[in-house]
Structure formats: structure tokens, C-alpha cells
Amino acid sequence: MTTVRVVHDIGDVDPGSWDTAVSRYGGSVYHRHAWLRSVEAAAMVDVEARHLVLEADGRVLGVAPLYLTRRCPKLEMFRRHYVSAGIGDASMLVGHSMYAQSSDVLAAGERERRLLLQEVLALWQGEAADQILAFPLVPESSPLLAELCQHGFTTGLLSCTNLLDTPWDSFAGYLAHLPGPKRRNIVKGIRRSERAGVTAEVRRGDADLDLLASMVRRTAERHGSPVFFDVGFLAAVVKEFGPAAVTVTVYGRGKPVLSCLALDAGGEVAPWCIGFDYDSLEEFGQYNYLYSELIRFTVENGRKQVNFGRSTYYIKRKYGCRQRPVYAAMAAPPTARDSVETWISAIDTHARAELYKVGLPAPAVRHGTTEGYAMVAQR
């Protein structure tokens, strides 16, 4: 018998069963049990879990991480400040967080995925009448994107994540595969940094959280952006991931000039949080040095991929990343539909302009909606 249950605390699901489903059905580190535990433990965000679990005969056939989101600094930046068009104050049911790098419904097959999506829509219908349902980071390659469009969601390009597959058995093997000019540029940068006194320290499950939070705060202030990570949030991540929480600290002549928290799980390494001293960049080149160290770590530990996250395309292309488009997809009640469509259109335009600036082709699929709002809900 197939059942779908709503989970209000990820701790109520066996971690092994959940993570097995995530690995088997194409999820990322951001869908894993430890990451969801971190989000639910952090005071910096205010969310209530609404995760859906599809089961049959004791086996998990699909999962849909969802959060009723009251406060999320990263979501608020995109809602109100990233582009001129805002969404307003409507509450949001989010699948599942702007702190992640992908939104997806993970399932054994098409039938199970469609069943879970129907349950997501039914759950949304039972929430507040003015609520927006959002999947903010749906990969272009995911079948979920087309299904959301069929259900009347408004969609638009939000950004691209930058992925580097790592099939090599050594860092030297990685360098050897690069075109000559890129290889020489990277090697030259490493040598220049090391001549300037740059070293790196990699630690598992043990982080100087005050240093990391301080570096992150300085970076945010430099960009004039909100602070997305505080000590409490970072501590929750390190606690829940344990040795899979990897801290890379880069030093310039013995002084910390960069700190990065990366997540190492499911064959993927994801540098999630980075802060650094901008004033010493020209002298030490620590940001480029970090990229080399992350790739070295990933290769030497036999992992399959580095997920370098969104934007900053220029440097990520230099290191060989491919770009994976991710789309924002939203459904809204009639009272919020116009503002959602305006916001999605603005986000789509902004994302395409970013790609154009660095000479990357934009995806052919543009912002759009269908006339099928009634397919989503009669509210």
C-alpha cells in the first residue's frame, strides 16, 4: 500500500532511509537529512517543516522537502532587494530553501513524482489563502520544471549553478585535462600565492566559527548585502554534518585571509559559505587559491563533483565548471498573481543579463506562465 505522510520535524524520519532515497533519486547535499536538520535548528531562519514522504511496504519511494517560511534572509533578499520588483508580504510554502542550490521532488519514477506533486498542491490548498507556493531553484534538467509549468506555475530563469565533475585521481590529472592557457593561468596563480606566503588548512568537523562568521560579515558589508550566516546557523551545520562539514582556512603569511565551510556528502563537495578579506586579495590571491584547494580536496577524496554554487561565472568557468540553469517557479492566489509574474519576469531578465556580461549563452526557455491557474487550485 502506498502512503504519503506530512513530516513536521525531519527528526521524525530515519536518516538512513531519507538519505538513501536522496542518493537513489538524484538529490543533492542540500536535500540530505543533516542539512534539513541544520535549517530546522537555526534561529536565523523561521520555518516550519511540511516535508512529504511517499512510502510503500516500508520503503521510501519519494521525498519532497518543504518549508512554511516566515523568515529567511536569503529569500528576503531575492523577494525585495535583488531586483526592483518585489513580491510583498505573502507567506510562502517553499520547496525548500534559498540556502540550497536546487529545488526538486525526488522520486523513484514519473508516477511517484506526479503523486508527490499532487500532494504538494493539496497541502498548499490547505494553507493560508494568500500563500505563495515556490520552488525557487528547479534545475532545467529536472522533469519537475515541465510539470510545474503544466500546473500553471509562473517560471523564469533565476541563475545558473556551476558544477565541476571530478573523474581524475589526482590534482595533477585535473590540471592536465585543462586547455593549455587555463592550466598555465591556474598554476601561475598558485605559485604566485605561495611565493606571497599563502598556505591552506583543511579541517573536518571542527571549525573556528567566530572567524568564519566574522569573514562572512565583512564580505556582506563589502557588497552591501544582508548577512546570511551567523554563528548559530554555522554551528548548527557543523554539528549536524560532523566530519562531513569541512572548513578550509587560507592564510597569508600566517594571518587568516579567507574562511570557507564546505559540505562533503553523497559524493559531492559543496562550498556553501565563504568569507574573505578583500583588502589583501591583490597581494595573496586567496580566492583563486581556495578554488584550487577545493578541487584538490574533492579529487583526492574520490568525490564525483564540486558544486560551486551560483553566479560569479568568470572565475568558475576558468576552473572548468559547466553551468546548470535553475528556474524559479511560483504559484499564487489571484490577489498575488500580478506581483509574482512581475517579479519572475524581472528575475529572468536579470539572470540573462548576468550571463550576457560574461559571454555565456542564456537558456532558450524564457519567463512564462500558462493559463492553467485553475489546474493548481480553486481557492
Judge if 135 and 239 occupy the same domain.
Answer: no
Residue 313: inside a domain: no
Task: Among 271, 303, 335, identify where a domain stops.
Answer: 303
Is 63 found in the same domain as 16? yes
pLDDT per position as a tens digit, 73-123: 999 888 887 787 888 778 899 999 999 999 999 999 999 999 999 999 999
**Over 60: is that where the pLDDT of 191 sits?**
yes
Quick one: pLDDT at residue 185? Answer: 97
96 and 234 in a single domain? The answer is no
Please report whether residue 78 resides in a domain: yes
Domain total in the chain: 2
SS3 sequence, the chain?
CEEEEEECCHHHCCHHHHHHHHHHCCCCHHHCHHHHHHHHHCCCCEEEECEEEEEECCEEEEEECCEEEEECHHHHHHHHHCCCCCCCCCCEEECCCCCCCCCCCEECCHHHHHHHHHHHHHHHHCCCCCCEEEEEEEECCCHHHHHHHHCCCEEEEEEEEEEEECCCCCHHHHHHHCCHHHHHHHHHHHHHHHHCCEEEEEEECCCCHHHHHHHHHHHHHHHCCCCCCCHHHHHHHHHHHHHHEEEEEEEECCEEEEEEEEEEECCEEEEEEEEECHHHHHHHCHHHHHHHHHHHHHHHCCCCEEEEEECCHHHHHHCCCEEEEEEEEEECCHHHHHHHHHHHHHHHHHHHHHHHHCCCCCCCCCCECCCCHHHHCCC
Same domain for 338 and 273 = no
Domain presence at residue 311: no
Q: What is the mean pLDDT of residues 46-55?
A: 97
Mean pLDDT to the nearest integer, 13-41: 97
Would you call the peptide bond into 33 cis, given omega within 30 degrees of 0 as the criterion?
A: no
- pLDDT for res 375: 37
- Express as a percent the part of the chain with pLDDT over 70: 96
Co-location of 193 and 114 in the same domain: no
* Highest mean pLDDT pick, 120-134, 156-170, 328-342: 156-170
Say yes or no: 176 and 277 in one domain: yes
Structural domain includes residue 312:
no
Rounded mean pLDDT, 27-54: 96
Q: Are residues 16 and 141 in the same domain?
A: yes
Same domain for 236 and 349, yes or no, is no
Mean pLDDT of 52-70: 96
Same domain, yes or no: 156 and 10: yes
Specify whether 140 is located in the same domain as 286.
no
Residues 185, 286 within the same domain: yes
pLDDT of the residue at 223: 86
Place of cell 520552488: 135
Does the pLDDT value for residue 178 go beyond 90?
Answer: yes
Boundary (domain end) residue, out of 303, 336, 362: 303
List the domain range (segments joined by +) for residue 178: 167-303
Q: Tens digits of per-residue pLDDT, 303-322?
A: 999 999 998 999 999 999 99
Q: How confident is the model at residue 369 (pLDDT cuts 50, 70, 90)?
A: low
- Of 20-24, 226-230, 262-266, 372-376, the one with minimum mean pLDDT is 372-376
Residues 334 and 211 occupy one common structural domain? no
Residue 370: per-residue pLDDT: 43
Return the pLDDT at 366. Answer: 66
CB atoms within 10 A of CB 350: 17
CATH number of the domain encompassing residue 243? 3.40.630.30
The reply to whether 11 falls in a domain is: yes
pLDDT value for 127: 85
Instruction: Kindly state whether residue 360 falls inside one of the protein's structural domains.
Output: yes
